[in-house]
Amino acid sequence: MNAKTRRKLEMGTRVLNFSRVHPDASPGYAAALSRLEERLTRAQDLAGQQRDGILDVRAATVQKRDLRRLMRGTQLKHLARVAEVAARDVPELATKITLTPRPNTYLGFRTAARGMVAEAQTQKELLVKHGLVDTVLDSLVEALNQFDRAVEQGTDARRSHVGASAELDAVGDEIVQIVNVMDGLNRYRFAKDAESLAAWESSSNIFGPPRPASQAPAEGEIKPAA
C-alpha cells in the first residue's frame, strides 16, 4: 500500500470514530457513514489480500531459486556429464544436453531444462548405457514439475496483490469523496461549536492531526506542506 492511500484510509478511520462520538440523525448522514464503514471494511480485506499476495510471491521466488540451484548442482549436472560421454556415439548430444551458463531468467532456465529432459528421455537407452541413473532423471522431472507449480503460484500471487493494490487506491479515493460529502454538513452542524469543529477538521485532515509548531519532524520524515 502506498503512503498516499494509507493516509486516506487512516483519515477515514478517524472520521468514522469521530462520527460515532458525534452522531447525526439525518438519513443522508447515516447513509454516508454506513458507506464509509463499508469501504473501510473492504480496505481491510484488500490490505490482507495485498499482504498475502506479496508474501506468496516471495515464497515462490525462494522455492524457484532453491529448486534451480538443486537441479543445476545435481540432476542436470549428472545428465550433462553422461551426455558428454554418450556424445562419442551421438555427437549432437553435446549440444542438446549441456549445462550452459545460468540463464538470466527463470523462464530461460525452465525452457533449457525441459529441453534437456525431453532429449534425455528420447535417448534414454543410450544414456543409461553410459551411466545415467533412472531415479535421477525421474527426480529431475518431478523437480521441474515443482518448479512449474512455483512459477504458477508466483504469477497468481502477483496478479492478486497487484489487483488488490489497484482497488485499494480506488477505495481510498472513494473514502475521500465520502468525507467531502460529510464535511459540508459537519461544518454547518458545528458552526457555533469551535471545539467540535476543530476536532472534525483534525479528523478529516488527510495528513492526520496537526502537531505543535515546536515539534520537529522525526529523522527521515518529510513534514507535509501547509
pTM: 0.74
Annotated domain spans of the chain: 3-203
Stretch 145-167: mean pLDDT: 94
Indicate whether 203 pLDDT > 50.
Answer: yes
CA-wise closest residue to 87 among 56, 139, 131: 131
Residue written as grid cell 541413473 = 133
Which pLDDT tens digit goes with each residue over 177-188?
999 999 988 999
| 179-182 contacts, C-beta under 8 A, 24 or more apart | 179/11, 179/12, 179/15, 179/36, 179/204, 181/32, 182/15, 182/19, 182/29, 182/32, 182/33, 182/36
Share of the chain above pLDDT 90, in %: 68
Does the pLDDT value for residue 225 go beyond 60? no
